[in-house]
């Protein structure tokens, strides 16, 4: 199940409840050491040199406990109690160019600004530009506010323990946290409830999508209509269609503008393509409709925009709206129980809220709730680093998969197509939140899998990899062969 996003006080209360239930700190430290080592091994290769920086508190104990599990690596632990005295030994370690530094100097209990000596030590580490794995929280960063306490370690990966802490998700924390990962099972009692904001875990999708019935046919899995593509922007329609194909609805039809028809049709085989005409009726035979990718040309038919507004207001089938079409949306009521999804990036969300991008980024879960409320409690996928999924009421989910290489043109088109391809399937419409969260996670997880084996991947590679990550024995595994 997903992990709650909690405050430092809630984490402390969780620990105390665990000790009262009979768990011991020593057992948790041993478990954390194993998990930290497991992640460090994935970040390094046989024979690599790993430097461990261990402070005097439990965070240092966690880092030290990793050493015995770092098999087939050269490991040196620097115990840091006096930062001024530790500068020279740290310089010697960094001069040996470790493949990884494990940061265990400070944990979530830090609640004061660091003095000059500690700041100098952390600056020395940051200036060395070594890959850093932070244990629980980057040292010097407030786990409550996300602000550095004078100085903070700039980690490449932060493995936070038990559950994500509120401050680690703040925009101010992102340069220090790097990639945020969660080790949920560290031996504590069952997690306490948070504030209805949750972190998506890969194991949430161990049984999703469900197995398809043996006696099924194209009609079993729905028919998706994609209204997309215009002169100069035909590639968005193609990518949306290819994303949808990876979700495998029964049928897909792309409806595009006259100027984009030939380049779109010329690149698609199994997908049907037809030009837009003003007499098109929705939903027709379609079980879901996606509108928006590549509809950026200035001379779009006025009836196309009017048709989307009618579709949004009137139809009972799922409607997903992305990209330029977000600006056409009416703030009207929709049919009861009708499924609506919008997928803005922060700039688009700011326009919909009539606010600034920094305002959106300062509290992304709140931005999701606000945008959703403007459009009748629609589902919102707020894209970007740690994509947020939710609506005005109910839980909000933060996604941790993905990496900066998703910042390429066409990435969002693939996501909207894949998401819509899932929602076109009648069997998946009963639980739209899981389908939406899965689409977002899979999109990021496919990018992560590509990054491990092909650093210079492009969006066309992502189109082939999308949908290929599975949860096997509780771990993510990508299919080795991609068509």
> How far apart are alpha carbons 104 and 438 in whole angstroms?
33
Q: What count of other Cβ atoms lies within 10 Å of the Cβ of residue 74?
A: 14
> How far apart are alpha carbons 286 and 309 in whole angstroms?
17
Contact between 168 and 146 under an 8 Å Cβ cutoff? The reply is yes
pTM above 0.75?
A: yes
Tokens matching residue 214: 């043996």
> How far apart are alpha carbons 35 and 16 in whole angstroms?
21
Mean pLDDT for the chain? 95
Q: How far is CA 120 from the centre of its chain?
A: 33
CATH superfamily of 3-191: YjeF N-terminal domain (3.40.50.10260)
Question: What is the DSSP pairing of strand 74-79 with strand 49-54?
Answer: parallel
Residue 393 pLDDT exceeds 80: yes
Report CA dihedral (370, 371, 372, 376) to the nearest 10 degrees. Answer: 100
> How far apart are alpha carbons 181 and 162 in whole angstroms?
10
Residue 429 pLDDT exceeds 80: yes
> How far apart are alpha carbons 27 and 36 in whole angstroms?
14
Contact between 36 and 66 under an 8 Å Cβ cutoff? The reply is yes
Residue 129 phi, psi (nearest 5): 55, 45
- Mean pLDDT, rounded, for 85-101: 97
Q: What count of other Cβ atoms lies within 10 Å of the Cβ of residue 360?
A: 27
Q: Which residue has the tokens 């990966």?
A: 157
Residue 135's pLDDT is 98
Residue 49 phi, psi (nearest 5): -95, 125
Whole-angstrom Cα Rg for the chain: 24
Point out the least confidently predicted range of 185-194, 286-295, 418-427: 185-194
Per-residue pLDDT tens digits for 52-82: 999 999 999 999 999 999 999 999 999 999 9
Cross-strand partners of 148: 141
The residue extents of the domains of the chain are: 3-191, 218-478
Residue 95's pLDDT is 97
- For 101, the 3-state DSSP assignment is strand
Report CA dihedral (12, 13, 14, 16) to the nearest 10 degrees. Answer: 90
User: Band of the pLDDT at 333, cuts 50, 70, 90?
Assistant: confident
Residue 194's pLDDT is 74
- For 103, the 3-state DSSP assignment is strand
Per-residue pLDDT tens digits for 241-256: 999 999 999 999 999 9
Per-residue pLDDT tens digits for 193-236: 778 999 999 999 999 999 999 999 999 999 999 999 999 999 99
Residue 358 pLDDT exceeds 60: yes
Distances (CA, A) of 122 to 145, 223, 311: 19, 56, 56
- For 95, the 3-state DSSP assignment is helix
> How far apart are alpha carbons 177 and 136 in whole angstroms?
10
* Cα angle 206, 209, 212; round to 5: 125
Per-residue pLDDT tens digits for 177-190: 999 999 999 999 98
Residue 33 pLDDT exceeds 50: yes
Tokens matching residue 343: 């997928």
Distances (CA, A) of 202 to 134, 278, 312, 407, 480: 21, 43, 32, 22, 19
Which residue, among 316, 309, 315, 353, has the nearest Cα to 330 in the 3D structure? 309
Residue 30 phi, psi (nearest 5): -60, -45
Residue 478's pLDDT is 64
Which residue, among 191, 137, 201, 189, has the nearest Cα to 166 in the 3D structure? 137
Which residue, among 69, 77, 7, has the nearest Cα to 38 in the 3D structure? 69
Distances (CA, A) of 54 to 60, 121, 424: 4, 13, 51
Residue 134 phi, psi (nearest 5): -90, 135
> How far apart are alpha carbons 94 and 12 in whole angstroms?
34
- Which residues have CB under 8 Å from 116's CB, separation 6+? none
Residue 436 pLDDT exceeds 90: yes
> How far apart are alpha carbons 89 and 82 in whole angstroms?
11
Residue 473's pLDDT is 58
Tokens matching residue 43: 């970040």
Residue 483 pLDDT exceeds 50: no
Contact between 90 and 78 under an 8 Å Cβ cutoff? The reply is yes
CATH superfamily of 218-478: Ribokinase (3.40.1190.20)
Residue 471's pLDDT is 82
Q: Which residue has the tokens 């080592």?
A: 37
- Mean pLDDT, rounded, for 114-142: 98
Residue 482's pLDDT is 43
Residue 335's pLDDT is 87
- Mean pLDDT, rounded, for 412-422: 98
Residue 15's pLDDT is 95
- Mean pLDDT, rounded, for 447-475: 90
Provide the 8-state DSSP code for 171: G
């Amino acid at each position: 199940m997903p992990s709650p996003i909690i405050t430092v006080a809630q984490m402390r209360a969780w620990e105390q409840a665990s000790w009262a239930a009979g768990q011991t700190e020593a057992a948790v430290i041993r478990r954390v050491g194993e998990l930290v080592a497991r992640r460090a091994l994935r970040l390094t290769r046989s024979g690599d040199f790993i430097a461990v920086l261990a402070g005097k508190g439990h965070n240092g104990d966690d880092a030290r406990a990793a050493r015995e599990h770092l098999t087939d690596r050269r490991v040196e632990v620097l115990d840091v109690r006096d930062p001024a005295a530790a500068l020279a030994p740290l310089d010697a370690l960094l001069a040996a160019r470790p493949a990884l530094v494990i940061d265990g100097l400070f944990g979530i209990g830090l609640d004061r600004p660091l003095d000059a000596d500690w700041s100098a030590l952390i600056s020395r580490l940051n200036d060395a530009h070594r890959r850093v794995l932070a244990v629980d929280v980057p040292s010097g960063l407030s786990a409550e506010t996300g602000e550095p306490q004078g100085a903070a370690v700039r980690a490449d990966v932060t493995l936070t323990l038990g559950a994500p802490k509120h401050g680690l998700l703040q925009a101010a924390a992102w340069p220090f946290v790097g990639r945020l990962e969660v080790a949920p099972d560290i031996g504590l009692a069952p997690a306490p409830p948070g504030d209805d904001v949750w972190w998506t875990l890969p194991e949430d999708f161990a049984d999703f999508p469900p197995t398809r019935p043996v006696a099924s046919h194209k009609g079993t899995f729905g028919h998706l209509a994609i209204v997309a593509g215009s002169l100069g922007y035909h590639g968005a329609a193609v990518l949306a269609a290819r994303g949808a194909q990876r979700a495998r609805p029964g049928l897909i039809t792309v409806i595009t503008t006259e100027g984009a028809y030939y380049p779109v049709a010329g690149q698609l085989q199994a997908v049907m393509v037809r030009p837009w005409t003003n007499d098109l009726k929705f939903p027709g035979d379609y079980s879901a409709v996606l509108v928006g990718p590549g509809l950026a040309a200035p001379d779009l038919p006025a009836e196309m925009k009017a048709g989307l507004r009618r579709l949004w207001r009137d139809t009972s089938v799922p409607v997903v709206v992305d990209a330029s079409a977000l600006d056409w949306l009416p703030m009207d009521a929709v049919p009861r129980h009708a499924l609506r999804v919008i997928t803005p990036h922060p700039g688009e969300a700011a326009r919909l809220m009539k606010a600034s991008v920094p305002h959106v980024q300062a509290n992304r879960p709140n931005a999701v709730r606000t945008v959703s409320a403007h459009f009748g409690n629609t589902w919102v996928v707020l894209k970007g680093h740690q994509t947020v999924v939710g609506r005005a009421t109910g839980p909000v989910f933060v996604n941790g998969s993905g990496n900066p290489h998703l910042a390429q043109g066409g990435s969002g088109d693939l996501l909207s197509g894949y998401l819509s391809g899932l929602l076109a399937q009648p069997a998946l419409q009963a639980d739209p939140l899981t389908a939406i969260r899965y689409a977002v996670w899979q999109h990021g997880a496919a990018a992560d899998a590509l990054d491990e084996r092909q650093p210079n991947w492009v969006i066309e590679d992502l189109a082939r990899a999308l949908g290929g990550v599975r949860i096997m024995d509780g771990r993510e595994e990508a299919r080795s062969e991609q068509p």
